[in-house]
Chain A
Amino acid sequence: MSAFARKLQAVAQTRKTTTVSTGASLPVIAALVGIAVFLLVGSLSSSIFAQQTVAGLAQGAVFGSLALALVLIYRATEVINFAQGEMAMAMTYVGYQLTIWGLSYWLAFALTLVIAFVFGVAVQLIVIRPVQHRSVIAVVIVTVGLFILTDGVVAWIWGADLKFMAAPFGNQVYHVGSVAFARQDLGVLLVSILSVILLWLLFQFTKIGLAMRAAALRPAAASLVGIRVNWMLAIGWGLASVLGAVAGLMTEPTQFLQPTMMQAILIYAFAAAVLGGLESPAGAVIGGLLLGVFLNLTGQYVGFVTSELRLPAAFVVLLVVLVVKPNGLLGRKQVRRV
């Protein structure tokens, strides 16, 4: 390891000394293991339970991707991007347009991610950076403005009616015993998890990932060792936008394209991010998966929770977590000096 990288590592780790506890505590791990066992046993004993669990995991993976996008930005600047879902929606339309122009699905997918990265960086540079150091309210309102603007631009260009895109995974169904798995669910799960893993590798094993972590955790110290903190923040927005684009493209097969397609998913992503701990990337993914499965299973087995109550159910999850365990499952406990 070069001297520079060691310095970065040191900067990235200094924050740990100021937090009381880090990462997952024992009861949380025990609870997660318990839930996993419960889901496994349930899936083995009932085929409907198994199908709902897998479908829930697929949806949860999408929530998790978008939640991770929120967490990336929150960790770096303590800002919640309310436009994250709408940016993802806009990028999905870009992907749609590319397939209309004759590109194959996966080529369009890859190109969309590149465009999404540039878009995210541009948004940060143009509208976020000037308000970054002002109050939480100012930044929230700018992202709200971005929400409305993106919505309007997309509806202006493509219209507000439903659009259909070539299905990436087809409609096959696999049968394992008496359980039917939709190929699409498995594909969505696979792509989402893969993108999360790639991102994790980027953050853990590349110099730029290290620099980004340092810039997020200790901006002042990071800039002293020569990291261009502002650029790292912009790249963070770019990566968040890429994750959002993945979430959008993976939502499309089940919801089709329309300007409102990501609005409900944004709420689920909020709930997932808070459930996992707003500071914790791993928590966002786990929170997303848990929430997806939870919503699907309650929808299946609790008669009262009809489709209208899916969003309020997510709200209840969010509220309970915020009141009972505000740092989420994997978040660090924050200590603030008065």
Chain B
Amino acid sequence: MRALLQMRLLVIAATVAVIVVLPSMLDGYHQGLAARVAIYFIAILGLNILTGYTGQISIGHGAFMAIGGYTTAILSHDHHMSLLLTLPIALVISFGVGLLVGLPALRLSGVYLALATFAFAVSVPQFALKFSKFTGGSNGLQADESYSHLKLYVVSWACAGISFVLAFLLLRGRIGRAFRATRDSPVAAASSGVSLPVYKTFAFGVSAAYAGVAGSLFVIATNGFAQPQEFGVTLSLQLLIGAAVAGLGSLWGVLAGAAFIGLLPTVSASAPLIGSAHGQDVVFGLIVILIMLLLPNGVVGVLARLARMRQARD
């Protein structure tokens, strides 16, 4: 157990060191790319709290990102608020929306919840189109401040670090146990005094708050520009895929999941044969299916298997 703890601390220290050193070795474009990985990291962290820990599927997290993103864009555009200040507001608003969505979700589970959240993901960008007075419609909305690549990188990874620590603290204690109990056996959880409605709704709220912050940063990362198309179904699907690649129900693979959805399109675009946007989709879809067929538990599953092998050898 102590060896495991030491190893984890070592991994965390190494990761933090890499993240701190990295920007000095990258040009602006790649700093922006790395910042995107941080943004996906936050969103997948949130999705994992919901889907991995309480077992509620959501294919709608792109919608929560849209809510956070538009909060930032509107506050900056209409009220000239500093972008950094909009982050906590986006967090609170998406937390509230998450609670609201979590209430009807109490009655749903499995594929029904997947369907409902998917339809939610499709609907939210449509609202942005409908209420164009506030959102700029299909032309989008421009925040009146924009960050340099380096500043974006620093802010995104700082938020990602805080998010990770908070998630870790939340999940290791009483609340995390209640979440896992809700997932593994709702009946047993309820009979040990865990209030299912409270914890399930709370998980939705927390998860949405993470996605909301990620959405704010997402808008900042696109030069402060919020557009309905950016928050389409694909985004929600990507987040779910990232969570699956990372491995559900564990925080340790999330970085791999975020790097997967953040970097794969760029990597495959630079490959000679598949250089087009459509080629990227082909590679992406193919790898997703292969990962699900070959690595059922994502990156975490591989790590766990390696650890077991090492133990067996010792």
Contacts and interface: CB of A to CB of B under 8 A. Distances in A.
B4 interface: no
Most A C-beta atoms less than 10 A away, residue of B116, B187, B244, B289: B289
B233 A263 contact: yes
Contacts of A270: 115, 118-119
Interface string A231-263: 000000000000000000000000000000001
B282 A152 contact: yes
A137 interface: yes
Given A149-B285, A311-B123, A323-B104, A318 B115 contact: yes
Interface string B282-314: 111110110011001000000000000000000
Interface stretch (B26-34, B91-99, B144-152, B273-281): B273-281
Contact of B293 (A130, A136, A140, A153): A130
Contact of A155 (B114, B187, B278): B278
Nearest to A150: B285
Contacts of A310: 126
Given A148-B237, A149-B281, A311-B123, A137 B51 contact: yes
Given A80-B115, A144-B241, A136 B110 contact: yes
A141 B288 contact: yes
A142 B126 contact: no
A267 B122 CA distance: 8
B67 interface: no
Interface in B77-124: 104, 107-108, 110-112, 114-116, 118-120, 122-123
A220 B234 CA distance: 38
A127 B107 contact: no
Contacts of B234: 148
B119 A144 contact: no
Contacts of B130: 306, 308-309, 312
Interface string A7-43: 0000000000000000000000000000000000000
A170 interface: no
Interface string A75-102: 0001110100000000000000000000
Contacts of B248: 137
Interface in A153-212: 153, 155-156, 160
Contact of B281 (A78, A152, A263): A152
A148 B285 contact: yes
B126 to A, nearest CB: 5
B110 to A, nearest CB: 5
A152 B280 contact: yes
Given A131-B293, A141-B288, A270-B115, A153 B122 contact: no
B134 interface: no
Contacts of A149: 281-282, 284-286, 288-289
A315 B120 contact: yes
B119 A318 contact: yes
A105 interface: no
Interface residues of B, number: 45
A190 B119 CA distance: 29
A295 interface: no
B196 interface: no
B282 A80 contact: no
B59 interface: yes
A78 B112 CA distance: 10
B115 A144 contact: no
A322 B107 contact: yes
Given A140-B111, A148-B237, A323-B104, A318 B289 contact: no
Contact of B285 (A151, A160, A267, A311): A151
Nearest to A158: B278
A147 B240 CA distance: 13
Interface string A52-85: 0000000000000000000000100011101000
A138 B241 CA distance: 10
B154 interface: no
B259 interface: no
B288 A144 contact: yes
A202 to B, nearest CB: 25
A152 B278 contact: yes
Contacts of B120: 315
Nearest to B248: A137
A293 to B, nearest CB: 19
Contacts of B129: 308
B57 interface: yes
Contacts of B107: 322-323, 326
B190 to A, nearest CB: 10
Contacts of B114: 80, 136, 140
B127 interface: yes
Nearest to A259: B278
A312 B123 contact: yes
A131 B126 contact: no
Contact of A140 (B59, B104, B277): B59
B104 A127 contact: no
Most A C-beta atoms less than 10 A away, residue of B240, B241, B281: B281
A6 interface: no
Closest 10 CB pairs between A and B?
Answer: A149-B285, A152-B281, A145-B288, A148-B285, A152-B282, A155-B278, A312-B123, A315-B119, A156-B278, A145-B289
17 contacts: A80-B115, A136-B110, A140-B57, A140-B111, A141-B241, A142-B292, A146-B289, A151-B281, A155-B278, A267-B122, A270-B115, A270-B118, A306-B130, A310-B126, A312-B126, A319-B119, A322-B108
Interface of B: 51, 57, 59, 104, 107-108, 110-112, 114-116, 118-120, 122-123, 126-127, 129-130, 187, 233-234, 237, 240-241, 244, 248, 276-286, 288-289, 292-293, 296
